[in-house]
Structure formats: structure tokens, C-alpha cells
Chains A and B, each alone.
Chain A
Amino acid sequence: MSILGTRVVRTEDPGFLTTGAVYTDDVVDERLAGTCHVFFVRSPIAHARIRAVDVSAALESPGVIAAFTGAALADLPPLAPPMPDLVDGRMAQPLLARDVVRYVGEPVAVVITEDTYQGEDAAELVSADYDPLPAVVDLAAAADDPPSLLFPEAGTNVTATFGDASALQADLFDGCEVVVSRTIVNQRVAPAPMETRAAAAVWGDDGRLTAWIPNQGAQGTRGALAAMLAIDPSSLRIITPDVGGAFGAKFGADPEHAVVCWVARQLGRPARWAETRNENMIAMTHGRAQRQTITIGGSRDGTVTAYRLEILQDSGAYPRFGAFLPALTILMAPGPYAISRAEAVARSVVTNTTPVGAYRGAGRPEATAAVERAIDMFAAEIGRDPAEVRRVNLLPKFTQPHRTAFGAVYDSGDYVTALDAALDAAGYAALRAEQARRRAAGDVTQLGIGLASYVEITGAGAESGAPRENATVEVFPDGSATILTGTSPHGQGHATVWAMLASEELGIPVDRITVKWGDTDLIPEGGGTGGSRSLQQGGVAVRQASLELLEVARERAAAALEANPADLVFEPERSAFEVAGDPDAAVPLAKLAVEERLVVRTVFIAPGATFPFGAHVAVVEVDTETGKVVLRRVVTVDDAGTVINPLLAEGQRHGGIAQGAAQAFLEEVLYDADGNPLTATFADYPFLSATEVPSFELADMATPTSYNPLGVKGIGEAGTIGATPAVQNAVIDALAHLGVRHIDLPATPQRVWRALQDVSAGKDA
């Protein structure tokens, strides 16, 4: 029986559960003996000219070895923005601020101590003088009426533009019976992985740097770090310990990582850094942060004929991946709908806030939230059921690739079936009946039912070409095997699933297969884990390597058995080749590794990205007196093609749903008008807890893709993409009969209550 498609529990769990995983701060290694500890002194002001940074008092503090300001690192290149052809390259972040600070939390100095408590003491003794500059916080003003420019030499706060706003068609909505338009917010949130950032670094006698850094792809981290340190990537080895969550925010490397490596070189001894949560909340990249103007038009029968999306993206103080997010949002702008006329444009601007990067979904949740809100606003305007309006406008089922007006090529899709399956599983008609009863009774607690249909893009290729990933499989004489992968799990369970994929082909038990990743000396190439790419590229590469290994082994088996290779069959049950029709004439796979290594490295190249899809139904109760939202149910259909391990795939959906729901009604990074962060700790940031979500109801749907032999698509981000608009739509739906048409994310009690006050006062809400 095939192991694929079965609920194999994780091989990595016993260690995680008993001694704990080994995260960067847990690493014990003789190379790190005698380590010093690095502490960052960060700007308390959002925008200011630095007059002076004085570390002299800190140097007198017990245990202090050294302290450095930005001047000491002036020779090192700044962290260059990604996508140099799209983003203004002048807006680069120095490793430590020198002349100007541009967000609260920007590193301005480091203190290095013998132990950790001494560092916290000494960092407080660093004094810095600042001349405040006007802080750019308001997103709309940042572009068109800025109180100041973050980079005066650039002449603008706009760091990137997507599409030509002057070319928007004036007649796009001509002929529409109904046009609805609104500016909505897709708020800034914190990725907040449970493990904060960290680093440990040591330079060897050979001049090579070894750095332990929690990351999503050691090879990308190596490249980013080498660039900041101005060294050749070959003189840098990244080792990836266990990683305590990442959610998009641990790709590449940050200035702090480079500073720790620089300190280790400067002092000639190992250096370590473990970020505090407070630092993490203000200095790790944030996610989302878009202001979207959506306009939708169509006819009263429910047909949508035109849609426009205009995006203002907050990049934070320095353009990172966040500046590029609108490209992905625009790519997925029309979602799963057949809208005959659609257009989208965007501008990314810099503000005096924490830089924005990737966060679970990265650009696609923003697209889905916009179009799903638009569809619901349109449905409300024409007075029709949002499920019916979706059904009318969803692309009909297609099995051949479908090219959208925005250049996305959807591999396959069956959106109506997904929607109907979710509605069935939720008991949609009964929910509407219960809602009608509560409305008629004027209940204080109203019921809201929110829908979201989505299609997303997973496993997109690098700039350099088609999506690809490598894998190496080696079988050993003792019957065990090792897999090397270019992906980089941080909770997804590749150690188990990659072993399942090899076990399926090689007949070696999962618990005898070791999966390795994240060491750039061992695995010099790889794309890491992000964008829900791992299984459909890295996993498929493992399968391909296993099959190629069998062909190498077949030749050896033929020689050993003095048979024609074509007459041999491989029996996974006994992990052996045997002569067809003569099971006694057999040779075990392991034996074929005795005289010569039995190892294959291969690269799987995909024809393109895949486009998972699905539908979410959220049910909320809203207290119309207090504005409090209680999430009662989330029912989802998430079709990511063939499922290899349902236990783990469901886990990815659960986590995604929770994060998406949290964005809908809880989480938000806030700043005051001067750019001071108001959500800088877990005491202030409303991190989702177990009491705020229900158990989730997952319905199955699996449409294999033709883009890889396993038929798999990505599942890592689907939950996040569907859940946010489903929950948001549910909250608004609960109050629709009272006249509420929109409530911005997140639907906090205050926002909900305000919307209710506004409608009862006759104002638009």
C-alpha cells in the first residue's frame, strides 16, 4: 500500500517534545566557545538627524568588551533594496544608522559584552542626540503631501510604481448599472514568529565565516549576508538550526545579522545575538500595509463587468520586499472571477515606520481581500445573496491553463464546485435562516455569514527563470538513506514528508531516512521555503531523485544478477531488485551501495507556478451593543491538488486560517502621529490566543495539477488568504441589515461600535 496520502506522524516530533528543538539560541558548538554577546541600541525617534552617539559611558559598564556606532561600519555597503529595476536604489538601509534615523527601532549602535544581562545594562548607557525631523506616518500624505522626505536626494517618498495611473480608462465603468467604490485598509500586521531573530557567528583561521541564523533558505541568506559584508559568498557558510516559525519574515538577512558577523570579525571572537520580543516587534519586517481603492461595476442581475484596484503600499522606512508586494497583488487582482474589464495600479511609498516585508501570503491576501470586499459591496448594493453573485461571476471550471488580463496563467480551476462544497459543509441555508430569525427578533447578538472565494499563486519562479529545486538522495549499505534538499522547513514537516516521498519509491522505511537542509557547504544551491513552493518543487525533486537513483541501481543490479536491466523489477516491499518472474534472483538496494556510493542529485524544473483555490465560510456573532466579534465557525475548502500527508496539510490550513482570522478581527500594528509604535510588545499587540478561535471545519477537495508528477500545489498560505476576507465579510454581514456596508480591518469592538453609531446617526458606514 502506498504511504502517500496517509497520516504519517512526524519523525521530528519526539525530539521537539522532549529535549526541545535546537534553535539558534540553543546551539552549543565548540566553535562558539568564548562567545561575546551583541546588543543593539535602537532609535527611539521615528525621523531625526543624528547629532552624536556617545558610547563612552557604556564602555565603562561591567563586562563591556566594545561598543560601535555607525561610523565604524561606514565602509560596508547598505542593505540594498530587492528588485533594483523596480525600486529606487537610493533608499538603502545602512547597517547602523549614521546621519539620519528613519524609524523607531532602527539600530544606531551596538554594545558587546561578556554575558547577556550585562549587555542590557550597558545598552541603556549609550546616549544619542537627535534633531527631530517631521515624521512621515500617514500613508496618503507620504506620497502626495509629505511632511518631509525620507531620502531628499530621491526627491520623493514614492519608491516604486506599478502600472501607469495616468492611463487608467476613464470609461471603464461606462454602461454599468451599478458602480460601488470605496477606499479600504489592509492593515499592517506583525509576522511575530515565536522564535525572534538571532545569530551566532565565528570567523575561522581560514578566513571563512560560519553563521548560524534562523532563516527560510540558507542559500538566500548567504547571498544577502555576503553582500552586506562585502565578501564572496564562497567564504561564508550558513548553518540553519531549527527555526521557530518565520511566515515570510526570515528570508534573506537583515542588517543586524551582518553587524553580528562584523563584530565577530572585528573582535576576533565568536559573537551571538538573541533579539528581544520588543526589538522583534519594532525591527523585524512587518507585513501587508496597503491602502486600496476598489471600484466595482456591473448590472443588477449580478454580473460584474468592471473592476479597478488602486494600491498605496506602505514600504516602511526602507524598501524591502514590501515595496514589491503590489506586483503580486496586481497579478492576482481579479482573483477567481471572469471580469471582462479590470485594471490595477500601485505606488509604494516610504514612511517613518518599520520596513515592510513578506508575511504569509505576501501580496495575494491583499488581492483577495480587495476583490472579496468588492464583490460583497456590489452584492449588498444590488440586494442579492453574496453566494449567488459569486456563482454568477466565478470562472467556469477549466482544465487547460487560463491566462488572465494581468498575465497570470492559472493551471486549472473549479471555483464554483469549491464554493458550493464550502456552502454545503457550512449548512448555508440554515445559517441564513437563523440570521433572518435574529434580525426579525432584533437580537442584541446578530449572526454574520461571510464568504470568500480565492485563487492564489504558489511556487512562482525566481527572477532568473522557471521554478526549480534540487534534491540529492543517497542510499547506504546499512539500508538507510539521506536526502539533501534546497528547501528549508521551519514547522512544515519536510523531514517527514520528504522521507515519505523517498520511501514510496525506494521501499526504505521513513524512520531510516534522514533529511538535511540549510547548510550551505553541504547544499550550496536551493530556493528555500516560502511562497508555498516546497512540496511542488523540493518534494517533487526528491521523488525524481529517488527514481533516478533506482535507474542507477538497476544497472548495478543487472550486473550483480547477470540479467538484462529491462528484465528487472524493483519491489519496494523488500527494497530489492528481482528478476521478473523469479523472486529468488534478487539483490537488495542497500547492497548496491557497498562497492560504490549510490547517490543521485537532480533538479526538478516546473513548467510554471500553480494556482490553488478554494472557498471559506466564516460565521461570527456580533454584539450590537459593545461591538465585540466572536468567531463561531470557519468552514473551508482548500484545493491544493494531491495531498501527500493529510495530517500535515490540515495543520497548514489550520494555522493559516487562524492567522488570516486574526488579521480580520484582532491584529494590527499601530503608530501614533509621530511614528511611535504603540504595539511594541506582546502585552500591547493582540496576538491570537486559543480562546479567540473555534476549531476549524475542513472539507476536502483535491484537483491534481498537471505541472508536476505528484499533482501537488502549495498549501502553506491558502488558509491565510481565504480567512481574512471571509471573517471580515461575516462581521459586516452581521450588521448589513442595519445599514453597515463596510468596516475596515481589523474589526475591533471599537471599529464595529463606531460603524453602528455612524449608521444610527445617518452617516455612511
Chain B
Amino acid sequence: MQIELTVNGAPRSDEVEPRLLLVHYLRQRCGLRAANVGCDTTSCGACTVLVNGRSVKSCTMLAVQAAGQEITTAEGLATGGEMHPVQQAFRQEHGLQCGFCTPGMVMAAAGLLAENPHPTEAEVREGLEGNFCRCTGYHNIVRAVLSAAEDMSA
């Protein structure tokens, strides 16, 4: 099937197999490999991207369902060579170790802050419940998101 969509601000048109998952489309066809595949049950969130600004697990969506939508991946979050405040906060607060969950976690956090710019710690934890991290114990991820929220409203 032919799909037309926008990926990180650039229009694309591709012929895809109907069963192709969005995450595989992004990784294999677009060469955008920041989003990772961490499970096969839509549990871990390592593949999270933004679809029209809302965070979506891209293993749960077919590429054909993304037709006509605007997709943003971690590669597209920085602007003008400057990391997004969420990315900067993850670095500053040591919110990542092995990095595998990180692109998905960052996109989930960006989506969360778009919906709720001033979350409490509990709201951050609930908002990221669908994104697994094995390294950080979530401690510094939560701090990073709270810190990014402050930075973005400053």
C-alpha cells in the first residue's frame, strides 16, 4: 500500500506491506533507529514516538495507520542543533544508563509534558508507567521530567 505521511517534519511517500509495524517502518525504511523494539506485547514503550504530538507505542500501530499523520521520533525532537529541554534534563539528571529505553522514554515524557506541563511526581510516575527502564530505577528519570517541566515553563 502507498502511504504519505510526515516524519520529523519532512513529507514522505512509501509503498509498504499492510502488516508492517510503524516501528519497523521507521527503523528499516526511514533509517530512524532511535526507537527500539523491547518487547512483543506493547508493554515496554521503548518504541514510543509522537503521532500528531501525542505519545504512541509505534509497535502497536501499523505503518498504514500512520498515513496522513505527523510522526516525531527522538531524532526529530532537537531543534536547530539544540537538544529539547527533556533531552537536556535527561542528561543533566543522569536519567539514562544503557540508553535502550531512552528514546521512547524521552518521547513519552515530551508527550506527557505537552498534556500536563506541571505534573507532580506521582503524575510523572503514572504518565511513564508504560515505559520500562531496567537501569535507573526510574529515580533520575522522574527527576529529569520534573526538571524539564520547570525549564519549559521558565
Contacts and interface: CB of A to CB of B under 8 A. Distances in A.
B98 A695 contact: no
Most A C-beta atoms less than 10 A away, residue of B17, B20, B103:
B103
Interface string B46-89: 10000000000000000000000000001101100001000100
Given A13-B91, A682-B132, A693 B35 contact: no
Interface string A668-688: 000000000000011100011
B79 to A, nearest CB: 11
A26 B27 CA distance: 8
B134 A691 contact: no
Nearest to B132: A687
Contact of B36 (A18, A20, A687): A20
Interface string A20-42: 11110110000000000000000
A20 B35 contact: yes
A491 interface: yes
Interface in A114-136: 116-117
Q: Decide if the interface of chain A is mainly helix, strand, loop or mixed.
A: loop
B106 interface: yes
B138 A693 contact: yes
B5 interface: no
B99 A193 contact: no
A199 B97 CA distance: 22
Most B C-beta atoms less than 10 A away, residue of A196, A492, A659:
A196
Contact of A690 (B20, B33, B138): B138
B94 to A, nearest CB: 5
Contacts of B121: 695
Interface in A264-284: 274, 276-278
B22 interface: no
Contacts of B35: 20
Nearest to A243: B98
Contacts of B137: 654-659, 693, 696, 719
A651 B87 contact: no
B13 to A, nearest CB: 21
A398 interface: no
A17 B19 contact: no
Contacts of B114: none
B38 A20 contact: no
A23 B100 contact: yes
A681 B90 contact: no
A257 interface: no
Interface in A357-377: none
A19 B106 CA distance: 12
Contacts of B113: none
B103 A654 contact: no
Interface string B108-146: 000000000000010011101111111111111111000
Contacts of B138: 654, 658, 689-690, 693
A23 B103 CA distance: 13
Contacts of B7: none
Contacts of A22: 33
B17 A194 contact: no
B149 interface: no
A10 interface: yes
Interface residues of A, number: 57
Contact of A195 (B38, B87, B94, B139): B38
A274 B37 CA distance: 10
Contact of A681 (B40, B78, B87, B142): B40
B96 A17 contact: yes
Nearest to B100: A244
Given A491-B98, A655-B136, A194 B141 contact: no
Nearest to A634: B137
A690 B128 contact: yes
Nearest to A360: B134
Most A C-beta atoms less than 10 A away, residue of B34, B130, B139:
B139
Contacts of B78: 18
Contact of B99 (A25, A242, A657, A681): A242
B74 A17 contact: yes
B44 A20 contact: no
Contacts of B96: 13, 16-17
B136 A683 contact: no
B101 to A, nearest CB: 5
A319 interface: no
Given A681-B43, A695-B121, A696-B137, A245 B34 contact: no
Nearest to B131: A690
A536 B47 CA distance: 36
Contacts of A25: 33, 37
A10 B38 contact: no
B91 A491 contact: no
A72 B142 CA distance: 51
B134 A194 contact: yes
Nearest to B139: A654
A18 B82 CA distance: 10
Nearest to A13: B91
A647 interface: yes
B97 A492 contact: yes
B46 A194 contact: yes
Contact of B39 (A242, A682, A691): A682
A695 B134 contact: no
Contacts of A650: 94, 140
A9 interface: yes
B102 A17 contact: yes
Given A18-B74, A696-B137, A689 B36 contact: no
A192 interface: yes
Contacts of B2: none
A607 B46 CA distance: 42
Contact of A21 (B39, B99, B134): B99
A518 to B, nearest CB: 14
B98 A648 contact: no
A288 interface: no
B37 to A, nearest CB: 8
Nearest to B92: A9
A247 interface: yes
Contacts of B142: 690, 695
Contact of B90 (A17, A117, A278, A695): A17
Contact of A651 (B37, B41, B43, B136): B136
A712 B143 CA distance: 27
Contact of B134 (A9, A18, A192, A274): A192
Interface in A191-217: 192-196
Contacts of A477: none
Contact of B94 (A9, A242, A247, A274): A9
A339 to B, nearest CB: 32
A659 B133 CA distance: 10
Contact of B98 (A192, A244, A696): A244
Given A20-B33, A654-B139, A117 B134 contact: no
A689 B132 contact: yes
B91 A10 contact: yes
A654 B136 CA distance: 6
Contacts of A9: 91-92, 94
Contacts of B135: 194, 245, 491, 651, 655
Most B C-beta atoms less than 10 A away, residue of A20, A21, A491, A657:
A20
Most A C-beta atoms less than 10 A away, residue of B24, B83, B94, B143:
B94
A277 B132 CA distance: 13
15 contacts: A9-B91, A13-B91, A17-B74, A21-B99, A23-B36, A194-B100, A194-B133, A243-B98, A276-B40, A490-B98, A650-B94, A655-B134, A681-B43, A693-B138, A719-B137
Given A690-B124, A690-B125, 19 more contacts: A13-B90, A18-B75, A20-B36, A21-B99, A194-B38, A194-B100, A196-B38, A242-B98, A650-B94, A651-B136, A655-B134, A657-B137, A683-B41, A687-B132, A687-B134, A689-B128, A689-B129, A695-B139, A696-B137
Interface of B: 17, 19-20, 24, 27, 33-41, 43-44, 46, 74-75, 77-78, 83, 87, 90-92, 94, 96-103, 106, 121, 124-126, 128-143
